[in-house]
Structure 1
Amino acid sequence: MSRLLIVVDRAKDWAPYYPSDDVLTFDEYLKFTAPASSRVRVINLCQSAKYLSRGYYCSLLAEARGHHVVPSVITLNDLSRKGLFSLELEELDSSVLEWLEASGAAVKPGEDDRDATHQVRIKTYFGQAEHAALKPVARALFERFPSPILEVVFKRRKGWQIESMKPASPADLEEHEQDAFAAALDRFSSIVWRRPKSRRRYRFDLAILVNPEEQLPPSDKQALECFEKAGKKLGINVEQITKRDYMRLPEYDGLFIRETTAIDHHTYRFARKAEAEGMVVIDDPVSILRCTNKVYLADLLKNNKIPTPKTLILSKDQKDSVHQVIDQLGFPVVVKIPDGAFSKGVLRAEDEKGLKDALKTLFKQSALVLAQEYFYTEYDWRIGVLGGRAIFACKYFMVKGHWQIYQHGENQEVDSGSFDTLPTYEVPRNVIQAALNATRLIGNGLYGVDIKQAGNRVAVIEVNDNPNVDAGVEDRFLGGELYTLIMQEFLSRMEENRRR
């Protein structure tokens, strides 16, 4: 389990806030020691961050001790270099510029507005700002220069620029600013002094990354609650986070991504950061990279002789792609973009005209497109694999009157077929073996392998790096045991991390 420390210059700097044993003065932090196996997060709130000041040494010592500290020494050094943040702000949201204009100094009588210098001084708190219009600026600055409190000065000459930016401490805040800082700190971190007894019951902390607005998330709300209950029984404090909690990751021992992943997406950045922090992470970045691109996956499976439908990789500039598909695959044929999910970006062509139209549509989205033989079955197998073993099995049936499991209609409506959940021992052995063989090429995380079966023929369609685990579907046979199995895997890996 991670430990959170707040470091200030003097105890009185924290006087306006709730007292806690986790708030240390700089001198106390100098003497602080922690077990080698523990994870320590430090929020450095010392007043001065100049080179060789207390604040500078706080961040420097934290990094030397293997503690994750905000701000880092790199951030402090970057903030001392004006050239890095003297940025033009013309491309920002119009509401930001309007607020800056309204808040800027008035033009003096007789002064040409084009030559006037306007100045606005604000403070940001963990990427938050008191004024709603400035939230995009505050968030962007925090992502680039992660620092608890930043004092930012904007100046307008011909256009708005950041004139200066420096770290600040709680001692620098007015009373109304103290409230804004405390609220931002509370959002940024699950503050230990707010729930001391409940948090300290648990051996480990696990973050589950979710998107409450996602239409088809990998786990529904009831399943997420089941993960939390299963974790708590095993001594794991499970907490849901969103993309805004990126800087909070080092507070946790593990990350479980329950949001649809993509490479050019915050889910991949979360996985990369969690891995860099030494956390246990599912989906790990390598699995995301290998699974989310169907071109990579198709080539990987083919080169390792994993049975798949006949597949061609087509290039946008390829002149004979249509004839190649007709000669080698025939009709009907399925064409798909490399990074589609939930049957999106997948089309079926019945003839040459339909194929040309499908390729024209998909090549607008990707330089490469997959063409695949149409292998019809009434259902697809979905085999859930965790750590190299099959843990659940489902039959996903096609939508009635449709050729896919999902059918996307107008107004973002999505229809799905029925399902049947079975114990893994009732699944044909060659189906289970194909799933295990395919996932060994990816890693040892949690995967969902889609397989078609007709008689003795088995074909792996794809390997999903964050398969659905929904209440009443994938858990229909195992019930709560499915969630326990997954949480137990996290527990084993986090224990192994602690022993290292």
Structure 2
Amino acid sequence: MARLVIVVEKASDWASYYPSVDVMSAMDYLRTPVGGDNERTQVINLCRSYKYLGTGYYVSLLAEARGHRVMPSVRTVNDLRRRSLYGLDIDDLNQKLTHFLPAGGRDTTDFGILVYFGETAYPALQDLARQVFEMFPCPLLRIEFERDRVWQVSSIKPVGLHTLVDAQEDAFAEELDRFSRKLWRKPRARRQFRYDLAMLVDPKEQMPPSNRKALKSFVAAGKELGIEVDPIGRNDYQRLAEYDGLFIRETTASDNHTYRFAHRAEKEGMVVIDDPSSILRCTNKIYLNDLMVSRKLAVPRTEILYRDDSKGTREVVAKLGFPLVLKIPDGSFSRGVVKVEDEDSLAQAASSLFQHSALLLAQEYVYTEFDWRIGVLNREPLYACKYYMSRGHWQIYNHGAKGTAKSGGFESIALKDAPAEVMKLALKATQPIGDGLYGVDLKQVGSKPVVIEVNDNPSIDAGVEDAHLGDELYRRIMQEFLRRMERKRQGGTTH
């Protein structure tokens, strides 16, 4: 059964709360290991200080050595202590503070708020409190603000339980109860699986990377290998402490919760696909194009358009001619991609797309009846598909005026039947990105393939990508998770 252990530095620190068998002193925890081999243990470290080599520091350090999930982790403690590091982390939050705090009308130039497990008594600052907690998972934090000309975060500090007054103690007790119930809301009388894998999904996503049947196939494949695959959502951020790995099956972006989940999982030492580096590298087409060109890999002729640079636009037309394709850097599923036939349509399309990005890609238009998609896992080919263009359209996906997307046909084939040149280029394209799960899109004109893009979160739909391999496709992905999680448990790297 999952166990929650609350560690306090002195018994008197818990005097205001109900006695609980979950509470133990720091000295008892340090002297007496708790939890068995098959018992999942979460430690909430409420010591008065996390000073380096102090009692609170050693509680978190030995918790990690014992295989317990601990809050705060040693990494969080170190990050909070190093002002230069967390100053970088909260830079984007400082820019948002003007939306939360008044520009004038306050007599003071500084104030602070308490954050209990990501919650605060100030509703207007709740989103900020949750973001800070996601960056620095710590039971009790104080965010301090100061104002010169604008409000800014001046510091983020851990707070000792013993410093709270009555109202604050009530708020802390309420959030601790809520947090602990949420964290362990699915306790098991007996652990039936060797590993637990969180699969991040959004049931409401219109074009998810995996359909419902595929998600069920991942769960079934994991079960065969002794892995419990548990679908979670964006509101389950703090439940990551329950798991050994994270599998993201939502469309990823570097500016939303999918990246935060990946980043947190990596910081926790979990096996994660897609890892945050792959998300950053794959979700921006300008970065990808530069990366492919620097590696001397074949891509369509590509130029960059800059907002408010009409001269540059004319030069791009001279180099690429018409028709050409405009792309926003972070589009997916053919969204944010426009084909233009002349200067008028170019000006109109560019004006619209520049509202979303200061830079655009302009690529030569390469006509093919279908695109290749080569799935790659851990630097090895996984599957091969042909995606045909949507009927009467120049793309695979046709996003109609009514907001519905129609796609063309597909053909899943054996890897040995895919052209050798396509396979070779696909593997080369993923080499500088990482060893995760990727989908490489390529076009082939004659015998010459070119890389269109590399997807960090490739589509794996039942009836499409698995049409050739069937259940074996899901089994191979789960086997890779198993391999990596076993290496983690044995103290090795995941590679």
TM-score using structure 2 length: 0.77
SS at match of 1:302: helix
- Give 1:24-39 correspondences, 5 Å limit: 26-33=26-33
Partner amino acid, structure 2, of 1:264: D
Between 445-454 and 172-181, report the one with greater CA deviation.
172-181
User: Which of 370, 376, 381 is the aligned partner of 1:385?
Assistant: 376
Q: Does the 8 Å contact 1:322/1:356 carry over to 2? A: no
1:70 aligns with 2:71: yes
Instruction: Measure how far apart 1:346 and its partner are.
Output: 0.7
SS at match of 1:354: helix
Q: Report the CA distance shift for 1:278/1:483 in structure 2 as closer, same or farther (over 3 A).
A: same
Instruction: Measure how far apart 1:4 and its partner are.
Output: 6.1
Q: Report the CA distance shift for 1:124/1:440 in structure 2 as closer, same or farther (over 3 A).
A: closer
Q: Does the 8 Å contact 1:44/1:58 carry over to 2? A: no
Q: Which has the larger radius of gyration?
A: 1
SS at match of 1:459: strand
Partner amino acid, structure 2, of 1:418: G
Partner in structure 2 of residue 61 of structure 1? 59
Distance 2:64 2:172 in 1: 32
CA shift digits 1:448-475 (9 cap, x unpaired): 0111123323121111011011122211
Distance 1:13 1:233 in 2: 48
SS at match of 2:373: strand
Q: Which stretches in structure 2 are left out of the alignment for 5+ residues?
A: 88-93, 108-112, 144-152
Distance 1:38 1:303 in 2: 49
Partner in structure 2 of residue 275 of structure 1? 266
Q: Which stretches in structure 1 are left out of the alignment for 5+ residues?
A: 98-113, 116-121, 153-161
Between 451-460 and 6-15, report the one with greater CA deviation.
6-15
User: Which of 289, 310, 314 is the aligned partner of 2:280?
Assistant: 289
CA shift digits 1:402-447 (9 cap, x unpaired): 1111122345322222222222222222221221121122211100
Distance 2:220 2:121 in 1: 36
Distance 2:443 2:3 in 1: 48
Partner in structure 2 of residue 209 of structure 1? 200
Instruction: Measure how far apart 1:262 and its partner are.
Output: 1.9
- Give 1:71-110 correspondences, 5 Å limit: 71=72
Distance 1:176 1:10 in 2: 20
- Give 1:167-246 correspondences, 5 Å limit: 168=161, 181-187=176-182, 189-190=183-184, 194-197=187-190, 200-246=191-237
Between 251-260 and 442-451, report the one with greater CA deviation.
251-260
Between 316-325 and 128-137, report the one with greater CA deviation.
128-137
Q: Does the 8 Å contact 2:49/2:160 carry over to 1? A: no
User: Which of 457, 476, 491 is the aligned partner of 2:467?
Assistant: 476
Partner in structure 2 of residue 7 of structure 1? 7
Instruction: Measure how far apart 1:191 and its partner are.
Output: 5.5
Partner amino acid, structure 2, of 1:49: R
Q: Does the 8 Å contact 2:60/2:72 carry over to 1? A: no
Q: Report the CA distance shift for 1:371/1:136 in structure 2 as closer, same or farther (over 3 A).
A: closer
Partner in structure 2 of residue 361 of structure 1? 352
Q: Report the CA distance shift for 1:348/1:18 in structure 2 as closer, same or farther (over 3 A).
A: farther
Q: Does the 8 Å contact 1:75/1:146 carry over to 2? A: no
Partner amino acid, structure 2, of 1:392: Y
Instruction: Measure how far apart 1:64 and its partner are.
Output: 5.3
Instruction: Measure how far apart 1:150 and its partner are.
Output: 7.6
Partner amino acid, structure 2, of 1:353: D
Instruction: Measure how far apart 1:28 and its partner are.
Output: 3.5
Instruction: Measure how far apart 1:341 and its partner are.
Output: 0.9
Q: Does the 8 Å contact 2:374/2:439 carry over to 1? A: yes
Distance 2:18 2:231 in 1: 29
1:372 aligns with 2:353: no
Q: Does the 8 Å contact 1:280/1:494 carry over to 2? A: yes
Partner amino acid, structure 2, of 1:185: S
Distance 1:77 1:377 in 2: 50
CA shift digits 1:110-137 (9 cap, x unpaired): xxxx99xxxxxx9976335799999657
Distance 2:171 2:359 in 1: 55
SS at match of 2:421: helix
Between 7-16 and 387-396, report the one with greater CA deviation.
7-16
Q: Report the CA distance shift for 1:313/1:39 in structure 2 as closer, same or farther (over 3 A).
A: farther
- Percentage identity across paired residues of the two chains: 47
User: Which of 446, 449, 472 is the aligned partner of 1:458?
Assistant: 449
User: Which of 384, 387, 398 is the aligned partner of 1:407?
Assistant: 398
Partner in structure 2 of residue 427 of structure 1? 418
Q: Report the CA distance shift for 1:14/1:314 in structure 2 as closer, same or farther (over 3 A).
A: same
Q: Does the 8 Å contact 1:5/1:41 carry over to 2? A: yes
Instruction: Measure how far apart 1:327 and its partner are.
Output: 2.6
Partner in structure 1 of residue 242 of structure 2? 251
SS at match of 2:390: coil
CA shift digits 1:73-127 (9 cap, x unpaired): 8669979x9xx9xx9x996779xx9xxxxxxxxxxxxxxxx99xxxxxx997633
Partner in structure 2 of residue 111 of structure 1? none
Distance 2:361 2:142 in 1: 51
Q: Does the 8 Å contact 1:397/1:417 carry over to 2? A: yes
CA shift digits 1:349-385 (9 cap, x unpaired): 1112212222222233222211111111121111111
Partner in structure 1 of residue 257 of structure 2? 266
CA shift digits 1:218-245 (9 cap, x unpaired): 1223222221221122122222233333
Q: Report the CA distance shift for 1:467/1:61 in structure 2 as closer, same or farther (over 3 A).
A: same
1:312 aligns with 2:303: yes
Between 402-411 and 383-392, report the one with greater CA deviation.
402-411
SS at match of 2:64: coil
Distance 1:314 1:38 in 2: 57
Distance 1:476 1:149 in 2: 50
